[in-house]
Amino acid sequence: MLLIHSEADLLAAFRPRDREVVVLPPPLRYPLLVRDHRAWVDPQGFRTFLVLAEPGGRRPMGVVFQRDSGGGVPVSQMCDWCHASGSSNEIGLLTTAASSRGGWGSTCASTCGARRSWRRWRTSAGRTTVSSRVA
């Protein structure tokens, strides 16, 4: 569980190179309690933002995911993590640049709603350094 005291603290959870694209959801009231994770989609639908606890820590970590535009007729898809099914408007490919040499991606709920799966990802991310996994 995290307590974020201000908008500045929330933005500081994201990597410096990602902060310029973060769009905060209105309205947020501080202090902001984040139980497991907090996720939201930008108004244009191009990105999903995720805030969760850093692996092995109590500090917030923000991740910016690019959303697959999908385009065309919505089709049925299944989340790789929680196996929920829905249209391509609800479940799609989310990717993020882990470093200049590679990235990470998965087909999952666009609002990152698979709580147990995020816990598993956060735990497995703790097996490597945070900087090599998501920085």
- Which DSSP state fits 8? H
The pLDDT assigned to 110 comes to 64
Q: Are 1 and 33 in contact (CB under 8 A)?
A: yes
Distance from C-alpha of 117 to C-alpha of 120, rounded to nearest angstrom = 5
Distance from C-alpha of 14 to C-alpha of 135, rounded to nearest angstrom = 9
Residues 7-53 pLDDT 10s = 999 999 999 999 999 999 888 899 999 888 888 888 888 898 989 88
Query: If pLDDT is split at 50, 70 and 90, which confidence band does 119 have?
Result: low
Considering only residues 118 and 38, tell me which one the structure prediction assigns the higher pLDDT: 38
Going from N- to C-terminal start, the domains of the chain cover: 2-134
Q: Helices in the chain by DSSP H: which ranges?
A: 7-12, 16-19, 115-125, 130-134
Output the pTM of the full model: 0.74
User: 66 pLDDT exceeds 60?
Assistant: yes
